[in-house]
Amino acid sequence: MANEILIKEFGCRIKQLRSERNFSQERLSFLSGFHRTYIGMVERGERNISLTNMAVFAKVFEMNISELLDFTVINPNHSFKKYELKSEE
């Protein structure tokens, strides 16, 4: 899958934010309206979520989407340059 790294980093960011707030997956499920198993899949990098769902996570964590996507918090050497772009064939 293209950009597997990005999806995994996003999952790590969600897990990090959840842990900082001492939320269980069940608590985050209640606050977000997402099923607990969906949250686990996001955290493990198994789901490529929509922008709408990112906005829900951002609202729950009381931040804007750009803060949610700040992966330098979990990886100080993070760079968006390593992601693949879809190529037209």
> Between these two residues, 20 and 84, which has the higher pLDDT value?
20
**Tokens 């686990």 sit at which residue?**
40
**Which tokens hold the place of 87?**
């190529």
- The correct CATH number of 4-68 out of 1.10.357.10, 3.30.70.260, 1.10.260.40, 3.30.565.10 is 1.10.260.40
- pLDDT at residue 1 in the model: 47
**Which tokens hold the place of 89?**
């064939």
**Alpha carbons within 13 A on the beta-carbon side of 64:** 1
- How many angstroms separate the CA atoms of 49 and 87, rounded? 21
pLDDT band for 85, please (50, 70, 90 cuts).
low
Provide the residue ranges of all domains of the chain, joining segments of one domain with +: 4-68
- pLDDT at residue 4 in the model: 85
> Between these two residues, 22 and 71, which has the higher pLDDT value?
22
pLDDT tens digits, 21-67 = 999 999 999 999 999 999 999 999 999 999 999 999 999 999 999 99
